[in-house]
Structure 1
């Protein structure tokens, strides 16, 4: 996508003049949003940040030394870019290391399979060698008779993830990853395997966290690359009795993670805060460029673009690089998002809105605003400012944000979404292919432009999204 700055400015000016704003937001604020947008489309720090982050530190597993070192570096980066009140906020974490792993068919049809242990899965304590029982759904596994899988390996192959722009195909399959090991253990299985949760057909497994039950992950779990899942399912479909040999030295350890916080302090209402969130940690297979180095790059660059505009906004723009978003914990404390919420205490009431960038670096195509804001004066202005860079209004309100800002949303903070094109996101997500070369700099710039323009409009106004909520939404 490439639109000249002249075309953007001319189109935006015409749209602005066509309808006078009917909110406490003057023409100068709108014009500055357009200027910030156009400048960000041409130049910003996003690519520099994500390049340095992924090159200097590579993968950043939650609680690892590389996540800790990357967070310290990011704090220094913020300071060098002129952010105020930069700080690192630590919290305790159970970390996880993958170690060595292997999955293979043994017996009459010996074959090596490409697989990855699921995050926080326990090791196999040596080698597990057992017959495989295949299920097409998690529900089928749950319906198996008690004890019917004693000494066996449960395998769920629910088919390939449906590729969708919104990424909606992910949820139905990722629940298998979370609940599968527990469901398998409940039926007596010694291990659990599944088809990777991804939209690609590459011989590259997708990892991701599984779920604790009563403080433990009850069985070792593995994800097979899509072609290997196909291979195993075909063999079973041919009537072959398949035995797998599994080994993993994965283990957990006590550590700490941290949130990195920095802000552009508000000019006249600094206690009113807008949170721009992303996460610092990544899985260990790639370098965490799209998940979620890009999100940190987008939010940092957007705040920097606002700071460079020549006028600080009325409200504070706070960037939070959350720690340990990717992993489950024995006790659910919300990880970095929960730690941030606990740390701010009563100040949560002064949080105007929060947004999260955690869906790669491809273009933003839609804006979702909090309930009640869809037909507001603010929405009409925001839509006019964002339309020239290809961002349309979503008819659906944004309700939950993402994992990092979810605790804020649960505490009553309104959330917005700048929805990205996720058509290829789950080809790369949680794989060794999540690397810097997958980021398109032009689409990255469009993200920054959308975030910077929208956040400026909110930060330099008195818009109150809490007051716009319908009565039923405000009650939750």
Structure 2
């Protein structure tokens, strides 16, 4: 029985460990960890070796093919001046000159009512508080495509002269349909003030070679039929260190591996650690793994993405009652605040499994404000993170994984039709269908 309630020795070891933070420093020092590029491979190798050093067995990298995307130059010219911008990954190469239309938040109604056809559309990275759900960048992009826009401008809502990045491709169409760039809040404000209704030129230069990515993984505990999957993603956008998103999550799961290795003989269930490649370009690595794995053998998933910057853990339970109960037990045991939500989060590496009804957490750090903050900008750097937060969160997640691995812990699955119905109830289905990410047929069965 995996019962650590009476043991505390491992906690001291975890709180004084440097394994996770040292890996985090190594990951950010790689530089460009863009999916399919040499830095991502270096990152995967660092994680593989760190898992082996922690005492895990069968540390390896499972490779897969990938549609690559390599940044060239990009430009946005308006009112006789060149404005700073960056291409959004998986934008196609191309140039468009047309009138600029500022659609504000880029809500579905904004596209329905706006003069989009043939024009350059600008939208905010934010969603208003009064709207009932978050609207993802990719959804806004494909509304623009659907309504005939000539190009797409993604305006950051976070001040600081930080143009945002983020992929616009999909599984079926990895390279988007129209040129897409990100601009800072300040450039966006200037464009809205000076250039709305006036011609602007958006240009993107990029290469789209075939590439290779991979998933780094290893195991601890007994060789049981069932397993607990503890995951993160290694890749990051090429414009930044990717410290929070998601060097932090990857460092955390390695720290959890170190802690669990010290109590491995008390685990009832195998724990498999997977650090995915190519998350930032459409959850490619986790989708490959979800197709490859025996999903019936996965008792639960603990996916860690963009934590540490916020000290309090945020756990999305996706409506799995037993996961919510385990989170409550964790908070009670450590008398530590933990934020939980039942809302479905279809934007990280738990999702290709959760759509099938596999119980899964999305683990992040609770932060103030809306959106990604420093994430997906060049400001996502190491000095904004604290080793204290990493160690505290690793301790909590180690205890959570051990609880889930207990033979007496029951974790009920959900029928995929329930997930589909919940997406409809949360008003997420329509946007997923626009993007082409809706995985269900009319009966709620996963297609493919």
From 111, 123, 128, the counterpart of 1:157: 123
Task: Specify the alignment match of 2:384 in structure 1.
Answer: 438
SS across alignment from 2:302: strand
Task: Specify the alignment match of 1:67 in structure 2.
Answer: 40
Deviation, structure 1 residue 158: 4.2
Is 1:247 the equivalent of 2:221? no
Is 1:299 the equivalent of 2:236? no
Q: Which runs of 5+ in 2 are unaligned?
A: 422-443
Task: Specify the alignment match of 1:264 in structure 2.
Answer: 220
CA distance 1:401–1:443, change in 2 (3 Å): farther
Task: Give a deviation string over 1:362-417, Cα, whole Å, max 9, x none.
Answer: 223455556232785x5654332232xx23363x4475575212122122221134
User: What's the C-alpha RMSD, in Å, of the aligned pairs?
Assistant: 3.3
Task: Specify the alignment match of 1:4 in structure 2.
Answer: none
SS across alignment from 2:72: coil
**1:41-190 counterparts in 2 under 5 A?**
41-55=15-29, 57-105=30-78, 109-124=79-94, 127-136=95-104, 137-138=106-107, 139-144=109-114, 149-150=117-118, 153-158=119-124, 160=126, 171-183=134-146, 186-187=147-148, 189-190=149-150
CA distance 1:169–1:58, change in 2 (3 Å): farther
CA distance 1:350–1:160, change in 2 (3 Å): closer
Task: Specify the alignment match of 1:210 in structure 2.
Answer: 168
Deviation, structure 1 residue 102: 1.8
From 299, 305, 310, the counterpart of 1:352: 299
Task: Specify the alignment match of 2:334 in structure 1.
Answer: 386
Verify the 8 A CA contact 1:287 1:436 in the aligned structure 2. Answer: yes
Is 1:326 the equivalent of 2:280? yes
SS across alignment from 2:358: coil
Verify the 8 A CA contact 1:178 1:211 in the aligned structure 2. Answer: no
Task: Give a deviation string over 1:177-209, Cα, whole Å, max 9, x none.
Answer: 4425513xx42x43222313x5x2111101101
Separation in structure 2 between the aligned mates of residue 282 and residue 336 of structure 1, nearest angstrom: 13
Verify the 8 A CA contact 1:277 1:320 in the aligned structure 2. Answer: yes
**1:191-210 counterparts in 2 under 5 A?**
191-196=151-156, 198=157, 200-210=158-168
> What number of residue pairs does the alignment pair up?
416
Task: Specify the alignment match of 2:398 in structure 1.
Answer: 452
Verify the 8 A CA contact 2:268 2:407 in the aligned structure 1. Answer: yes
Verify the 8 A CA contact 2:231 2:304 in the aligned structure 1. Answer: yes
Task: Specify the alignment match of 2:284 in structure 1.
Answer: 335
Tell me the TM-score normalized by structure 1. Answer: 0.78
CA distance 1:25–1:173, change in 2 (3 Å): closer
Verify the 8 A CA contact 1:372 1:468 in the aligned structure 2. Answer: no
Verify the 8 A CA contact 1:264 1:312 in the aligned structure 2. Answer: no
SS across alignment from 1:341: helix
Is 1:371 the equivalent of 2:330? no
Tell me the TM-score normalized by structure 2. Answer: 0.82
Separation in structure 1 between the aligned mates of residue 20 and residue 322 of structure 2, nearest angstrom: 29
Separation in structure 2 between the aligned mates of residue 128 and residue 283 of structure 1, nearest angstrom: 25
Separation in structure 1 between the aligned mates of residue 346 and residue 262 of structure 2, nearest angstrom: 27
From 27, 30, 33, the counterpart of 2:5: 30
Deviation, structure 1 residue 440: 1.4
SS across alignment from 1:171: coil
